[in-house]
Structure 1
């Protein structure tokens, strides 16, 4: 997610000139003391190499848990702290569910699987994906999904709300994302070769999920990935939706990518130089 350099000062002694008093001749003026030697500028010690975060594996009679981190995530301690905070939250929910479950013969074991992987790594932006699932009863596991966009120079996360601060802009972004998701839905349904009446019913049900999961507000688009060009600029944003947000569990994770030219009018002025098609 350091030892401070010791500082050393150079002390310079002043040499006194001895004057002979044996005769009555005028005393010669003493030679000027040599100028003090300036201390060399202090160079901070290089920080110790980043410690690779340790993966977590826990196995008990009630649950099994596995959490893995990128090997070099320790380069940015602040980012690593955010990843651990997310992992600790997921682990805490699992342990709470284990504590609440009453002993049941033959009850299925609870589990948590979470992996952090690097999506992008540039001098200005690092993007980490968190993907996994947790099972605490029921028919299916609950998906875990998050994205962490780290501004290297500012040493902090960049949220969707900061990137697009104007509420009206989310109407435009939401509309374009919905258009692409509805188009992809229609293509999947057509591939199934459903009858007309059944096709209409499926489109209505699934379309309602899309509209509910893409409300024009930052929380609907919190998981996003900057897509970087070769020169390190942001050429597009890829919005990532876990199962259940814009579709059924069977639909899996879905993504929609919007190009920089579509997004740029809606991006906060301070972040626009990070996007392709701008200077800075």
Structure 2
């Protein structure tokens, strides 16, 4: 079972923040022997990447978040939004921009395929899901996939943490400034991922040679994807208690960053007690003591 193959597509990510309902548009058994394709770069999603979240967003009017269900002979698109995101127009605009960028990338691929292209049906499945809703924080998970040929779909994954009182996104470097603390955080994340990897390999009951090869290759992906650079941790979501205080931060990693596509998205929770010393003073009150 050689699932731990090295593939290195880019991360398709954040520029926004929202909630949504699940969309399921399965794209199984794509390849029929087609080599595994990396997700495309340089598309519309890259254009909306890395929003400027250190200042309040420019006020905008109401943004209508309308679920999308569109099917033709060439493609299928399904996008869902949570109604609660409309309470924050600037956030809703970012969510819509993320979804529009993903759809633009799909349509460019459809046009490039043309009439003489492969017969496979292209598709986009994207859902925004509310994960936290308190007076201090509103967090949304965006997850889905886009299939534009190759062995399987390209993953779509982003997290958006909104500060309602400041009317802006909370970026990871706002929460935890760049500095020595990131070495400690990276070490804690890496340790959890290596432990999880060992448990998965043990469960597979592999031959020693195959086990060693998988552990070595997947371990390298973990180490490469968890360096102490904040960019590696930009997809995060707060885990809150009943009072709305943060008890942990969940870092989410898309397929390929810390493991092969077959492992899917992976996440690691770091408790508030371990993070609080590294959190910017302005946001420490959001955490449990």
Q: Aligned partners of 2:281 and 2:78: how far apart in 1?
A: 41
Partner of residue 208, structure 2? 196
Question: Which deviates the most, 176-185 or 72-81?
Answer: 72-81
**Which runs of structure 2 are paired with 1:151-230 in the superposition (5 Å)?**
151-230=163-242
How many pairs align? 229
Question: Which deviates the most, 187-196 or 53-62?
Answer: 53-62
Q: Aligned partners of 2:117 and 2:99: how far apart in 1?
A: 29
- Taking structure 2 as the reference length, the TM-score comes to 0.76
* Counterpart among 94, 97, 102 of residue 85 in structure 1: 97
Output one character per residue of 1:44-64: Cα deviation in whole Å (capped at 9) or x when no partner.
xxxxxx776211122233211
Partner of residue 252, structure 1? 264
Output one character per residue of 1:115-161: Cα deviation in whole Å (capped at 9) or x when no partner.
00110111110111101000011000011010100001111100112
* Counterpart among 146, 169, 172 of residue 158 in structure 2: 146
- What is the root-mean-square deviation in Å for CA atoms of aligned residues? 1.6
User: 1:231: Cα distance to partner?
Assistant: 1.4
Output one character per residue of 1:1-22: Cα deviation in whole Å (capped at 9) or x when no partner.
9xxxxxxxxxxxxxxxxxxxxx
Alignment check: 8 A CA contact 2:178 2:230 kept = no
Gaps of 5+ in 2: 1-15, 17-61
Partner of residue 76, structure 1? 88
Give the SS at the match of 1:65: strand
Gaps of 5+ in 1: 2-49
Partner of residue 122, structure 2? 110
Query: Is residue 2:131 matched to residue 1:125?
Result: no
Give the SS at the match of 2:180: helix
**Which runs of structure 2 are paired with 1:37-56 in the superposition (5 Å)?**
53-56=65-68
Alignment check: 8 A CA contact 1:127 1:225 kept = yes
- Taking structure 1 as the reference length, the TM-score comes to 0.78
Output one character per residue of 1:187-242: Cα deviation in whole Å (capped at 9) or x when no partner.
11111112222221110011011111112112111111100111111110001111
Following superposition, which runs of at least 4 residues in structure 1 exceed 3 angstroms of deviation?
A: none
User: 1:164: Cα distance to partner?
Assistant: 1.1
Q: Aligned partners of 2:76 and 2:209: how far apart in 1?
A: 45
* Counterpart among 264, 268, 274 of residue 262 in structure 1: 274
Q: Aligned partners of 2:173 and 2:106: how far apart in 1?
A: 29
Give the SS at the match of 1:167: coil
Q: Aligned partners of 1:201 and 1:105: how far apart in 2?
A: 38
User: 1:102: Cα distance to partner?
Assistant: 3.4
